[in-house]
């Protein structure tokens, strides 16, 4: 991922972009697109879908940049948009039968968690295969909370701001998700 | 804390997130409880795997291309925001003109129009120059004045011609006067020039009268008498001109 940008520099870029400076927005995109992509790919398990989400998210961010509240963290605002678009995409994917074919293609036997060497660098497909195996059985909400808190390393407060849920609701869902995932991982014959 | 509570805590919380008291309890408890120790080992392994997954940050296949596509979409979106109906019309027009046959036809039409315009201008210039020569005032006036004078003279004779020979459109009439009825014009012009001051004044008055009453004369059935009177006046004028020419010729 890109190195984090100093807050003052980011604020300046946002202010410039709010005035219509596309070059400033280009820098914002460069700094943040990998974060947006990570959450989208981990949630949707598909690289094309994830790239679509990133593109759509930044277009929305650009179009609503004037509504951005400087009191809010930019990444929180960005994640909020990404998360909502991910939910929408997941819904539309459910309606499409072709999505199963794509999953079958992506999650072939070679990408089963038991066959993946966790110690080496994982490809995107391997990462998504592992997450898919672990998150199987969780609701979309639980899966998203787990991704945001444990894989994106956001605070409970940030997750609450992004999802619009209460902190206690986040904790309850997170508890269920972690318990479920850790039990699965504990049962795996994976050496580490 | 009971074993069940500890196990729930182990499953739900990352060990690094345990507070110091929980960490202390865990350390002491694991020394005595084999079940919890096994679960702790499993959870630790699970946490390590999760950390590996967390570290395996998904990589965008082509970051630069993705950024470019976002910026391109934004820029084209900005354009579409100002995509008014006028722009749409212009775009349609451009699409039509991008067809080769249309382009060729339009070019030919433009060329034809241009040539016609040039030709008309040339003819007008020729007419003006010839009139200028006839008036013999070129050396005395600036070109703008000459033009004004010519227009004025042309208007005068156009009106005169219109009254004496019936209706015609002013453009056609002007062309006729200048290019076709050159002889008549010459006769009228020479006649006018050869008239004495009183006769010229009469023509001028006639013209003035015509100019003033033009609106009431044209197309009005009630002014038939007036039109006839004017026509007679013009006929008399013509005869005066001819007589004057004949006198000059005899001299």
Instruction: Answer yes or no: do A142 and A172 share one domain.
Output: yes
Average pLDDT of the segment spanning B73-89 = 60
Q: What is the CATH number of the domain that holds A131?
A: 1.10.10.10
Instruction: Answer yes or no: do A71 and A130 share one domain.
Output: no
Beta-carbon separation of B70 and A126 below 8 A? no
The whole domain housing A17 covers 1-106
Alpha-carbon distance of B171 to B155, in angstroms, equals 11
What's residue A182's pLDDT?
A: 80
Alpha-carbon distance of A178 to B8, in angstroms, equals 10
CA of residue B20 relative to chain centroid, distance? 79
Cβ count within 10 A of residue B166: 8
Choose the weakest-confidence range: A12-16, A35-39, B214-218. B214-218
Alpha-carbon distance of A147 to A151, in angstroms, equals 5
Instruction: Answer yes or no: do A100 and A132 share one domain.
Output: no
State whether the Cα torsion B110-B111-B112-B115 is positive or negative. positive
Instruction: Answer yes or no: do A89 and A150 share one domain.
Output: no
- Distance of residue B123 Cα from the nearest chain A Cα, in angstroms: 57
Structure tokens of A17?
Answer: 């972009």
Q: Give residue for tokens 């050396």.
A: B139
Nearest CA in chain A to B51: A151
Structure tokens of B149?
Answer: 């004078």
Instruction: Answer yes or no: do A1 and A65 share one domain.
Output: yes
Based on C-alpha coordinates, what's the Rg of chain B? Answer: 50
Chain B environment of A192 (Cβ under 8 Å): 45, 48-49, 52
Instruction: Please check the confidence at residue A103 and state whether its pLDDT lies above 60.
Output: no
- Top pLDDT among B132 and A35 is at A35
Contact B182, B240 (CB under 8 A): no
Average pLDDT of the segment spanning B79-108 = 65
Instruction: Answer yes or no: do A164 and A74 share one domain.
Output: no
Instruction: Give the DSSP H/E element, type plus range, for residue B153.
Output: helix B143-165
Chain A environment of B42 (Cβ under 8 Å): 182, 185-186
Domain ranges for chain B: 3-55, 82-135, 143-250
Chain B environment of A55 (Cβ under 8 Å): 66, 69-70, 73
Average pLDDT of the segment spanning A109-127 = 65
- pLDDT 10s digits, B180-234: 344 454 555 666 666 667 666 666 666 565 555 544 434 444 445 555 565 666 6
What's residue A120's pLDDT?
A: 65
**Residue A154: DSSP 8-state:** -
Instruction: Answer yes or no: do A147 and A62 share one domain.
Output: no
Instruction: Please check the confidence at residue A26 and state whether its pLDDT lies above 90.
Output: yes
Which residues of B sit within 8 Å Cβ distance of A? Answer: 8, 10-14, 39, 42-43, 45-50, 52-54, 56-61, 63, 66-67, 69-71, 73-75, 77
Give one DSSP letter per residue of A12-45, joined into a string: HHHHHHHTT-HHHHHHHHHHHHHHHHHHHHHHH-
Q: Of A61, A79, A106, which residue constitutes the final position of a domain?
A: A106
Instruction: Answer yes or no: do A82 and A143 share one domain.
Output: no
The answer, as to whether pTM is greater than 0.80, is no
State whether the Cα torsion B19-B22-B28-B31 is positive or negative. negative
Beta-carbon separation of B70 and A59 below 8 A? yes
- Top pLDDT among B241 and A34 is at A34
Most confident of A106-120, B92-106, B133-147: B92-106
Instruction: Answer yes or no: do A54 and A135 share one domain.
Output: no
Chain A environment of B56 (Cβ under 8 Å): 121-122, 126-127
Interface test with A, best of B15, B49, B79 (most A CBs within 10 A): B49
Cβ count within 10 A of residue A40: 27
Beta-carbon separation of B54 and A153 below 8 A? yes
What's residue B179's pLDDT?
A: 37
State whether the Cα torsion A108-A110-A115-A117 is positive or negative. negative
The closest of A149, A112, A122 to B59, measured between CA atoms, is A122
Beta-carbon separation of A175 and B8 below 8 A? yes
Contact B11, A182 (CB under 8 A): yes
Q: Of A76, A106, A136, which residue constitutes the final position of a domain?
A: A106
Most confident of A119-128, B28-37, B54-63, B200-209: B28-37
Interface test with A, best of B58, B64, B75 (most A CBs within 10 A): B58
Beta-carbon separation of B74 and A58 below 8 A? yes
- Top pLDDT among A31 and A120 is at A31
Beta-carbon separation of A30 and B67 below 8 A? yes
Instruction: Answer yes or no: do A123 and A151 share one domain.
Output: yes
Beta-carbon separation of A33 and B67 below 8 A? yes
Nearest-5° Cα angle at B194, B188 to B195: 90
Angle, helices A124-135 vs B34-55, to 10°: value is 140
Mean of per-residue pLDDT scores for chain B = 68
A72 shares contact with chain B (CB less than 8 Å):
no
- Distance of residue A97 Cα from the nearest chain B Cα, in angstroms: 26
Q: What is the CATH number of the domain that holds A88?
A: 1.10.1740.10
Choose the weakest-confidence range: A131-145, A151-165, B89-103. B89-103
Instruction: Answer yes or no: do A18 and A88 share one domain.
Output: yes
A153 shares contact with chain B (CB less than 8 Å):
yes
Compare CB distances from B48 to A50, A54, A192 and report the shortest one's residue. Answer: A192
What's residue B177's pLDDT?
A: 40
What's residue A35's pLDDT?
A: 92
Instruction: Answer yes or no: do A96 and A115 share one domain.
Output: no
Interface test with B, best of A26, A186, A191 (most B CBs within 10 A): A186
What's residue A62's pLDDT?
A: 92
Instruction: Please check the confidence at residue A162 and state whether its pLDDT lies above 90.
Output: yes
Beta-carbon separation of A59 and B54 below 8 A? no
- Distance of residue A101 Cα from the nearest chain B Cα, in angstroms: 22
Domains: count for chain A: 2
Contact A171, A149 (CB under 8 A): no
Q: Of A106, A134, A165, which residue constitutes the final position of a domain?
A: A106
- pLDDT 10s digits, B160-187: 555 544 444 444 444 434 333 444 545 5
């Amino acid at each position: 991922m890109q190195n984090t940008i100093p807050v003052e520099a980011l604020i300046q870029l946002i202010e410039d972009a709010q005035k219509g400076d596309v070059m400033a927005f280009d820098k914002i995109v460069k700094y943040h697109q990998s974060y947006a992509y990570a959450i989208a790919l981990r949630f949707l398990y598909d690289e094309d879908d994830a790239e679509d989400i990133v593109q759509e998210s930044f277009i929305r961010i650009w179009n609503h940049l004037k509504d951005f509240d400087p009191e809010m963290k930019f990444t929180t605002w960005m994640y909020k948009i990404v998360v909502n678009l991910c939910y929408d995409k997941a819904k539309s994917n459910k309606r499409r039968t072709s999505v199963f074919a794509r999953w079958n293609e992506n999650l072939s036997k070679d990408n089963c968690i038991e066959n993946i060497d966790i110690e080496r660098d994982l490809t995107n497909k391997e990462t998504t295969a592992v997450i898919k195996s672990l998150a199987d059985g969780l609701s979309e909400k639980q899966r998203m909370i787990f991704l945001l808190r444990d894989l994106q390393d956001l605070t409970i407060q940030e997750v609450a701001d992004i999802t619009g849920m209460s902190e206690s609701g986040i904790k309850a869902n997170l508890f269920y998700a972690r318990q479920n995932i850790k039990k699965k991982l504990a049962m795996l014959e994976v050496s580490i | 804390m009971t074993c069940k509570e500890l196990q729930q805590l182990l499953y739900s919380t990352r060990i690094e997130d345990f507070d110091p008291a929980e960490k202390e309890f865990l350390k002491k408890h694991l020394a005595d409880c084999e079940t919890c120790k096994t679960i702790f080992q499993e959870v630790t392994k699970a946490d390590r795997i999760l950390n590996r997954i967390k570290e395996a940050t998904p990589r965008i296949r082509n970051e630069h291309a993705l950024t470019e596509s976002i910026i391109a979409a934004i820029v084209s979106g900005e354009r579409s925001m100002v995509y008014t109906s006028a722009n749409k019309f212009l775009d349609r027009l451009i699409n039509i003109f991008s067809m080769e046959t249309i382009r060729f036809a339009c070019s030919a039409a433009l060329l034809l129009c241009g040539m016609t315009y040039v030709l008309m201008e040339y003819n007008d210039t020729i007419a003006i120059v010839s009139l200028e020569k006839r008036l013999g005032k070129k050396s005395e006036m600036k070109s703008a004045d000459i033009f004004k004078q010519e227009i004025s003279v042309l208007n005068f004779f156009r009106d005169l011609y219109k009254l004496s020979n019936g209706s015609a459109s002013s453009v056609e009439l002007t062309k006729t006067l200048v290019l076709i009825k050159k002889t008549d014009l010459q006769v009228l012009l020479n006649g006018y020039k050869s008239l004495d001051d009183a006769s010229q004044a009469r023509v001028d008055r006639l013209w003035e009268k015509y100019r003033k009453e033009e609106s009431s004369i044209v197309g009005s059935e009630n002014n038939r008498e007036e039109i006839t009177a004017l026509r007679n006046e013009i006929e008399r004028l013509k005869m005066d001109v001819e007589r004057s020419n004949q006198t000059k010729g005899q001299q």
